[in-house]
Structure formats: C-alpha cells, structure tokens
Amino acid sequence: MAEQESQEKIELQEEQIENSQKQTQNQENSQQKQKRKVQVREVPSENTLIFDFEVCQNCQEHSWCTHHDEEKYVQIFLECQKLIESQIQNSYCTFNEGIKPSTGSFEIRHQGILIYSKKNTQLFPQPSLLVERIKKFLDDLENNGDVSKWAKKKEVKYQPPKQKKERETFQSYMKKREEEEKRQKEEKEQARILGEQEEQKKREEEQRRQEQQQKEEEEKKKKEEQEKEEKRIEQEKIENERLAEEEKKMKEQQEQQVQQQKEQQEGNQEQNQSGE
C-alpha cells in the first residue's frame, strides 16, 4: 500500500513538472510570436517627428503579480503607430528604442516630453483619439504652451446623452395593446392563409401523382395488351405455317398414293397382256 502511494506521488510530481515545462514553452513561443509583430525599420531623417513608445514587454516574467497580456500591448502599439504615421505628416514611432520598459508601461514621449502615460491614467490610450491629442500637444509645444498637462490628462470618451424615459400613459398602453392584438390577429390570418395554400398545394401534388400513376397504369395495360396481341398473332402465324406444312405433306402423300396406284395398274395391265 505504501509503495503504491509513493508511486502515485512520483507520477503526480512528474506530471506537474511536465505541465510546467509545457506552460513555459508556450509562453516563450507566444513571446517570440509577439516580438516578431513589431518590425525593425530604418532610422528616419533628422526632420522627422519621432514619437518614442515605452511598452511593457516580457510579461511572463512578472505574471506572478500581474495579469498583463503582452499581445494586447503590442497590438495597441501597432494600431497607434499606423494611425499616427498615416495622419501626422513626416512622423515616426519607435518601440522601446534604447530603453528597458518598466512593468505595465505604455508611455508616449516626444523629445523626452511625456504625451501620454498609462501609469498616470491607469488606462490604455485610444488609438482613434490619440492622433488629435498629439496634434494639440504639438500646437502647445510650438506656441510655448503648457505641455506638462498632457502627462496626466485622460482621454474623454464620448457618451451619448441619456434619454429620459417617459412614463407610459393608459391611452398609450391601450393603443400599444390594440396594435399588438391586431398584429397577432394578422399573423394568425397570414398563418391560416399559408396553411390553406400549403394544403391546396399538397392536394394538387397528390392529384398530379394519382393522374401520373393512372397514366402509367394505362400505358402499362396498353403495353401488355399489345404484347398479348403480338403474341397471339405470332401463335396464329406459327399455327398457319404448321397447317400449311401438314396440308403440303398430305398432298404429297396423296400424289404418292395416286402414283403408286397408277404404277400398280400399269403393272397389272402388263401382266394381263403377257398372260394372253
């Protein structure tokens, strides 16, 4: 009994080690896959507007205290990069260039000035709103405005105004009820009409099937009668041929008998003449 328990413990430990190794391997594969998404590109010219992104990476190393999804960080960066470089002329986005990103970071800087900070706002940037934010930041920077406010400024999401729900009156309730009853009545009537049409269709199909069956039976009967008539004619032909053959044979026999009688008479005449 003790040996069996010891063996079970060993098997359980081996299974745990194997699962741990598989998990580690899956995380490494996931990390390599995500890193391949961010392509290395050529360094832009001097007049390019460079926006430096500091994005949290190697999330599996701090998975014991966070629930970061490294793929989500990379995906948001790619969306931001695409929108910025397509809508802001002569712009270029870097990805953790020359820095080691801190845990949970998604920071955006220009000339070392913070434009957006996930650490300060506790929110990811919205790619659709980020371009307008950067344009306003560049205006402040060009006009010597206050650019420090952007480090903590949160993006305001559009929220449609709440519509006040009106209390339903008795008249509106009765009207709605009448409309619902009318709708149900129309649906029942429509269902009845469709049912009758379906029944009529089935009856017509059944009638066509019976007519087709009757037609096939008549054709079959006609064919059988025709075959029977052909068979009768064939039998009559065979019978006539047989009768003609028999008549021919009888005629030949009669001719032979007449010939024999004639020969016998001639023979008798010769004997009579020789006797005289």
Question: What tokens appear for 222 in the block?
Answer: 């006609």
List the one residue out of 138, 119, 113, 103 whose CA is nearest residue 52.
Answer: 113
Beta carbons of 137 and 150 less than 8 angstroms apart: yes
Cα 26–Cα 33–Cα 64 angle in degrees, nearest 5: 45
Q: How far is CA 111 from CA 107, 116, 118, 249, 264, in A?
A: 13, 13, 18, 134, 155
H or E element: which one contains 117?
strand 113-117
Q: Are strands 113-117 and 91-95 parallel, antiparallel or unpaired?
A: unpaired
Per residue in 16-73, pLDDT (tens digit) is: 667 666 666 665 555 554 444 677 777 777 788 999 999 998 888 877 777 788 899 9
pLDDT in tens, 163-209: 666 677 888 889 999 999 999 999 999 999 999 999 999 999 999 99
Distance CA 58, CA 64 (A): 12
Q: What is the pTM of this model?
A: 0.45
- Distance between CA atoms of 138 and 144, rounded to whole angstroms? 10
Contact 149, 137 (CB under 8 A): no
Q: How confident is the model at residue 136 (pLDDT cuts 50, 70, 90)?
A: very high
Give the residue, 108 or 168, on which the prediction is more confident.
108
Cα separation, 32 vs 60, in Å, equals 12
